[in-house]
């Protein structure tokens, strides 16, 4: 048989999705498993949004739309960006796709030439690194551990840029760390990107989830120069509990958006019409449900962080956004728990799921082996049990 694609053969499967499958399998076998692996809101999609989807079916909105989405959807996206992020985009600058993951992938496909470098702050979300490689690019890592609040500095960014650098992927608030850049920090990074003329792929999918009454700043709101360099990526999955509907979008200068639309026209020929109608309702309808979910996430974060930091040998920073906690393993590494030697984040996550049936994601998936990621996008009862089991497990540390 002929050799299969080298690019495809080199892709590692998504470990966040793999851990979710493992958890679901354990549940299906009747085990008392607890899932903190995948970052997926446990809430149901709000009824008004579901009804918009049902209405779209009844009204026969069941045919192809423009490849980059309906005018109705694009206008609702522009409205939300204006109201929430203080940025003005025209519908011609918006391209909807089948999830923010898809939008990110298409954006990279449209920006990169073979050998182009893309700067990636570490810890990074698992899919970025593979998507860069799938697009012929080379990821260039910039380290930001908990000692620097999981944030890269403008000096680090500047030092990482070469004449091959095409873009940086900046995820704010961050998956997996939950950190949020302040306006000043963001401005300093944006200044470097503009001065060195690199694109900013700004993944702001968690922008609705910033806690402690802190404001969120969209990088595109920092001025025309910055906006001209930015490809904003967002979607409905996290803010509206719509992971299965698969709608994401890019907002970018019209010439970039045109390329993205052309690319989409030959790959998906538009996202599902039913999902587009539901997403339009999500963006333009009442935002009350977003506030309700936000309050629940904040309470869960507070509880999880307090419990975790009360346990010896492990710790975490208090994340300011998204719905993840990075648990630091420095005090556990090189030791054993119930006969399991802990030499890596994968060792810990594997021992923990075997012994206590608690699924978490090893930090190695995010380029950060000193940590394990917990998602608190699950109910309080599960979080309570998860923390109890963590406490019991860590007591057996030798």
Residues lying near ligand PMP in the complex (CB under 6 A) are found at 39, 99-101, 125, 171, 175, 203, 205, 235, 237, 243, 248
- Dihedral sign computed on CA atoms, order 245, 248, 254, 260: negative
Neighbours of 312 (CB within 10 A): 10
- Residue 14 contacts which entry, ligand GLU, ligand PMP, none (Cβ below 5-8 A, type-dependent): ligand GLU
Tokens of 95: 């391209």
Residues numbered 3-62 forming contacts with ligand GLU, rule: CB under 6 A: 14, 16-17, 38-40
State the nearest-atom distance from the C-beta of 101 to ligand PMP, in Å. Answer: 3
State the nearest-atom distance from the C-beta of 352 to ligand PMP, in Å. Answer: 22
Backbone torsions φ then ψ of 248, nearest 5 degrees = -135, 175
Q: With CA atoms as reference, report the closest residue to 83 among 218, 219, 248, 238.
A: 218
- Residue 367 contacts which entry, ligand GLU, ligand PMP, none (Cβ below 5-8 A, type-dependent): none
- Residue 35 contacts which entry, ligand GLU, ligand PMP, none (Cβ below 5-8 A, type-dependent): none
State the nearest-atom distance from the C-beta of 299 to ligand GLU, in Å. Answer: 21
Neighbours of 127 (CB within 10 A): 19
Pairwise CA distance, residues 165 & 117, whole Å: 4
- Cα first-last separation, the chain: 51
State the nearest-atom distance from the C-beta of 252 to ligand GLU, in Å. Answer: 22
Residue selected from 175, 221, 250, 276 as contacting ligand GLU according to rule CB under 6 A: 175
- Residue 185 contacts which entry, ligand PMP, ligand GLU, none (Cβ below 5-8 A, type-dependent): none
Tokens 């030439």, residue? 113
Pairwise CA distance, residues 54 & 51, whole Å: 5
- Residue 316 contacts which entry, ligand GLU, ligand PMP, none (Cβ below 5-8 A, type-dependent): none
Pairwise CA distance, residues 215 & 208, whole Å: 10
Closer to ligand PMP at the Cβ: 41 or 137? 41
Closer to ligand PMP at the Cβ: 137 or 321? 321
In contact, 259 and 108? CB cutoff 8 Å = no
State the nearest-atom distance from the C-beta of 206 to ligand GLU, in Å. Answer: 9
Using only the alpha carbons of the chain, give its radius of gyration.
21
Pairwise CA distance, residues 274 & 1, whole Å: 41
State the nearest-atom distance from the C-beta of 203 to ligand PMP, in Å. Answer: 5
Residue selected from 65, 68, 127, 364 as contacting ligand GLU according to rule CB under 6 A: 127
Closer to ligand PMP at the Cβ: 101 or 227? 101
Closer to ligand GLU at the Cβ: 175 or 218? 175
Closer to ligand PMP at the Cβ: 283 or 393? 283
Cβ neighbours of residue 32 under 8 Å, at least 6 residues apart? 357
Tokens of 177: 């760390």
State the nearest-atom distance from the C-beta of 127 to ligand GLU, in Å. Answer: 6
Strand ranges, E, within 130-212: 138-143, 165-171, 199-203
Q: Point out which residues bind ligand GLU (CB under 6 A).
A: 14, 16-17, 38-40, 101, 125-127, 175
């Amino acid at each position: 048989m002929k050799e299969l694609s080298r690019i495809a053969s080199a892709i590692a499967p998504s470990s966040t999705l793999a851990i979710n499958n493992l958890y679901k399998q354990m549940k299906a076998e009747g085990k008392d498993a607890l899932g903190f692996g995948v970052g997926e809101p446990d809430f149901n999609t709000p009824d008004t949004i579901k009804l918009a989807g049902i209405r779209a079916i009844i009204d026969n909105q069941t045919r192809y739309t423009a490849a980059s989405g309906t005018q109705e959807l694009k206008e609702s996206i522009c409205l939300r960006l204006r109201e929430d992020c203080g940025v003005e985009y025209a519908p011609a600058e918006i391209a909807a796709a089948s999830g923010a993951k898809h939008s990110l992938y298409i954006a990279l496909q449209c920006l990169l030439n073979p050998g182009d470098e893309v700067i990636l702050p570490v810890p990074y979300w698992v899919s970025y690194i593979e998507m860069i490689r799938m697009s012929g690019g080379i990821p260039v890592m910039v380290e930001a551990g908990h000692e620097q609040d999981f944030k890269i500095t403008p000096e680090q960014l500047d030092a990482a840029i070469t004449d091959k650098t095409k873009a940086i992927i900046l995820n704010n608030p961050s998956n997996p760390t939950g950190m949020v850049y302040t306006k000043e920090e963001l401005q300093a990074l944006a200044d470097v990107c503009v001065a060195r003329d690199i694109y900013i792929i700004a993944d702001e999918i968690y922008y609705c989830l910033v806690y402690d009454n802190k404001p969120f700043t969209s990088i595109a709101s920092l001025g025309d120069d910055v906006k001209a360099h930015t490809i904003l990526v967002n979607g409905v999955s996290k803010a509206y509990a719509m992971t299965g509907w698969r709608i994401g979008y890019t907002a970018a200068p019209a010439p970039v958006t045109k390329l993205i639309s052309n690319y989409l026209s030959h790959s998906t020929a538009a996202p599902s019409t039913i999902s587009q109608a539901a997403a339009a309702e999500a963006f333009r309808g009442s935002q009350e449900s977003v506030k309700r979910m936000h309050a629940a996430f904040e309470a869960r974060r507070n509880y999880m962080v307090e419990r975790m930091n009360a346990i010896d040998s492990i710790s975490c920073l208090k994340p300011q956004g998204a719905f993840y906690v990075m648990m630091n393993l420095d005090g556990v590494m090189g030791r054993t728990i119930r006969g399991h030697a802990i030499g890596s984040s994968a060792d810990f996550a594997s021992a923990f799921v075997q012994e206590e049936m608690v699924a978490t994601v090893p930090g190695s998936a995010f380029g950060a082996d000193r940590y394990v990621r917990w998602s608190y996008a699950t109910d309080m009862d599960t979080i309570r049990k998860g923390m109890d089991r963590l406490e019991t497990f860590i007591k057996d540390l030798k």
